[in-house]
């Protein structure tokens, strides 16, 4: 089913208003759709706000079609910044990556060569050159090879969601924050008909978009759909500092660091994530992250740990996005993916166009929900 059907009005319920749901909802509202945005929390305050929020394709080389989709996501971000304004949410400036492990360094340089061959912009420097030209606060060996991906960026996800939701509401969308979906009703032909909410209300709808992130499998189950998801928790720590000493996102040895405004930074590490299931408390994980960050940026010695959260990443079982219609449930669509920060603008544009027109874009061909058919 698509909007424009003569039988139905075309009301769309977007379930989950993180970056993916906000991008889908805003694009639908631009097409003139009747949109209701539903979130169990406040928009943008779930996993979107607790992400490293790195816009990139350099880490997406496992499949060429996935790389191409992420490159399109980067371009869609630049276009979005031109459309809604970049202030407060869009931070281009590139991404730095280096390591202290010889095997990891060989892999890093091999990937950089592959990416350059695919037309991705890559610049090579030494530690001394990076300190002298880009990031003087870093502690790194003079001769260590450093890869700069100049077209990459970071995003303040919650601010982006706020901007998109505000524009969608100004275009006529309805916002239902703090309201969970309890049931999705279907008609005799199996198509979506209603959405029941935790406040006791029931909405007549024609289309549901499942953008519920870590809860996407539960929402899919409401239409008897099996959406297998990974369990992959990650810990993010925000630290407060009098002055942010670095200017861009980076993968340093054992730690990922980026600014988060004028007086805050975000820390993450896959190595620390591996400790989550050992029973370590979030406060201890935060101290480990802070210690790793201080070894790379000594100026962070005086920084203070502000907030820490463990969040489950929304990753379908095979690691790739699930985007588009589910033929067995007319009117039901999915927009579920890790890397939602990078992919949000392009998935939002492509899925909204598909819902409105029925046209399926080839960029999404490898990421259709049908691959998880029972």
- Residues 212-237: tens digit of each pLDDT: 999 999 999 999 999 999 999 999 99
Decide if 5 is inside a domain: no
Residue where one domain finishes, among candidates 312, 330, 361: 312
Q: Can you give the CATH number for the domain in which 181 is found?
A: 3.50.50.60
Give the residue-averaged pLDDT of 81-92: 96
User: Which three-class secondary structure state does DSSP give residue 265?
Assistant: strand
Report CA dihedral (315, 247, 307, 88) to the nearest 10 degrees: -80
Decide if 69 is inside a domain: no
Distance, CA of 44 to CA of 260 (rounded, Å): 15
Instruction: Note whether 304 and 321 are same-domain residues.
Output: no
Instruction: Note whether 211 and 272 are same-domain residues.
Output: no
pLDDT in tens, 234-277: 999 999 999 999 999 999 999 999 999 999 999 999 999 999 99
User: What pLDDT, on the 0 to 100 scale, is given for residue 227?
Assistant: 97
Instruction: Note whether 253 and 215 are same-domain residues.
Output: no
Decide if 54 is inside a domain: no
Instruction: Note whether 250 and 103 are same-domain residues.
Output: no
Q: Is the pLDDT of residue 374 over 80?
A: no
User: What pLDDT, on the 0 to 100 scale, is given for residue 184?
Assistant: 98
User: What pLDDT, on the 0 to 100 scale, is given for residue 3?
Assistant: 61
User: What pLDDT, on the 0 to 100 scale, is given for residue 373?
Assistant: 80
The overall average pLDDT reported for the chain is 96
Instruction: Note whether 239 and 275 are same-domain residues.
Output: yes
Whole domain around residue 137: which residue ranges?
Answer: 95-150
Instruction: Note whether 140 and 248 are same-domain residues.
Output: no
User: What pLDDT, on the 0 to 100 scale, is given for residue 2?
Assistant: 55
Instruction: Note whether 213 and 145 are same-domain residues.
Output: no
User: What pLDDT, on the 0 to 100 scale, is given for residue 8?
Assistant: 38
Decide if 260 is inside a domain: yes
- Residue 372 Ramachandran class (φ > 0 left, ψ -120 to 50 alpha, else beta): alpha
Decide if 36 is inside a domain: yes
Instruction: Note whether 243 and 307 are same-domain residues.
Output: yes
Per-residue confidence band for 10, with pLDDT thresholds at 50, 70 and 90: confident
Q: Quick count: other Cβ atoms within 10 Å of Cβ 261?
A: 14
pLDDT in tens, 294-327: 999 999 999 999 999 999 999 999 999 999 999 9
Q: Strand 153-155: give its sheet, edge to edge.
A: 54-55, 153-155, 90-92
Residue where one domain finishes, among candidates 111, 132, 150: 150
Q: Is the pLDDT of residue 182 over 60?
A: yes
| Per-residue burial over 310-326, b = 16 or more CB atoms within 10 Å of its CB, e = otherwise | ebbbbbbeeebbbbbbb
Instruction: Note whether 42 and 140 are same-domain residues.
Output: no
Q: Is the pLDDT of residue 332 over 80?
A: yes
pLDDT in tens, 356-372: 999 999 999 999 999 99
Give the residue-averaged pLDDT of 197-218: 98
Q: Is the pLDDT of residue 5 over 70?
A: no
In the chain, how many domains are there? Answer: 3
Instruction: Note whether 144 and 277 are same-domain residues.
Output: no
Q: Is the pLDDT of residue 1 over 80?
A: no
Per-residue confidence band for 280, with pLDDT thresholds at 50, 70 and 90: very high
Decide if 72 is inside a domain: no
Q: Is the pLDDT of residue 6 over 50?
A: no
Task: Let me know: does 168 contact 27? Beta carbons within 8 Å.
Answer: no
Instruction: Calculate what percentage of the chain has a pLDDT beyond 90.
Output: 96
Q: Strand 145-149: give its sheet, edge to edge.
A: 123-126, 145-149, 95-97, 249-252, 255-259, 264-268, 233-240, 304-312
Instruction: Note whether 180 and 238 are same-domain residues.
Output: no
- CA neighbor of 206 nearest in space, from 34, 364, 61: 34
Give the residue-averaged pLDDT of 180-191: 96
Give the residue-averaged pLDDT of 55-75: 98
Instruction: Note whether 308 and 350 are same-domain residues.
Output: no
Decide if 63 is inside a domain: no
Residue where one domain finishes, among candidates 107, 135, 150: 150
Decide if 292 is inside a domain: yes
Task: Let me know: does 209 contact 217? Beta carbons within 8 Å.
Answer: no
Distance, CA of 49 to CA of 46 (rounded, Å): 6
User: What pLDDT, on the 0 to 100 scale, is given for residue 9?
Assistant: 46
């Amino acid at each position: 089913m698509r909007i424009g059907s003569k039988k139905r009005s075309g009301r769309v319920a977007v379930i989950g208003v993180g970056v993916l749901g906000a991008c889908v909802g805003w694009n639908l509202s631009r097409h003139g759709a009747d949109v209701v945005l539903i979130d169990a929390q406040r928009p943008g305050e779930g996993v979107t706000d607790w992400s490293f929020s790195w816009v990139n394709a350099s880490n997406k080389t496992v499949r060429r079609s996935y790389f191409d989709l992420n490159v399109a996501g980067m371009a869609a971000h630049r276009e979005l910044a031109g459309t809604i304004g970049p202030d407060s949410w869009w931070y281009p400036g590139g991404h730095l990556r280096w390591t202290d492990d010889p095997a990891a360094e060989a892999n890093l340089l091999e990937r950089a060569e592959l990416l350059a061959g695919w037309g991705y912009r890559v610049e090579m420097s030494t530690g001394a050159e990076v300190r002298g030209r880009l990031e003087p606060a870093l502690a790194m060996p003079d001769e260590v090879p450093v890869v700069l991906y100049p077209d990459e960026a970071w995003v303040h996800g919650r601010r982006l969601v706020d901007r998109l939701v505000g524009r969608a509401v100004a275009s006529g969308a309805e916002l239902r924050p703090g309201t969970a979906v309890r049931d999705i009703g279907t008609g005799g032909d199996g198509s979506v008909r209603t959405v029941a909410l935790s406040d006791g209300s029931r909405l007549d709808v024609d289309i549901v978009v499942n953008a519920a992130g870590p809860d996407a499998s539960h929402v899919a189950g409401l239409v008897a759909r099996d959406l297998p998801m990974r369990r992959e928790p990650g810990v993010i720590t925000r630290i407060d500092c009098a002055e942010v000493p670095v200017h861009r996102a980076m993968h340093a040895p054992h730690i990922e660091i980026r600014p988060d405004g004028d007086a805050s930074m975000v820390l993450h590490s896959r190595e620390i994530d591996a400790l989550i299931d050992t029973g370590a408390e979030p406060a201890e994980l935060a101290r480990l992250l802070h210690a790793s960050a201080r070894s790379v940026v000594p100026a962070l010695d005086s920084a203070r740990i502000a907030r820490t959260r463990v969040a489950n990443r929304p990753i379908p079982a095979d690691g790739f996005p699930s985007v588009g219609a589910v033929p067995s449930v007319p009117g039901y669509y999915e927009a579920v993916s890790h890397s939602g920060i990078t992919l949000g603008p392009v998935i939002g544009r492509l899925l909204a166009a598909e819902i409105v027109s029925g046209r399926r874009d080839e960029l999404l061909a490898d990421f259709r929900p049908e691959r998880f058919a029972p």
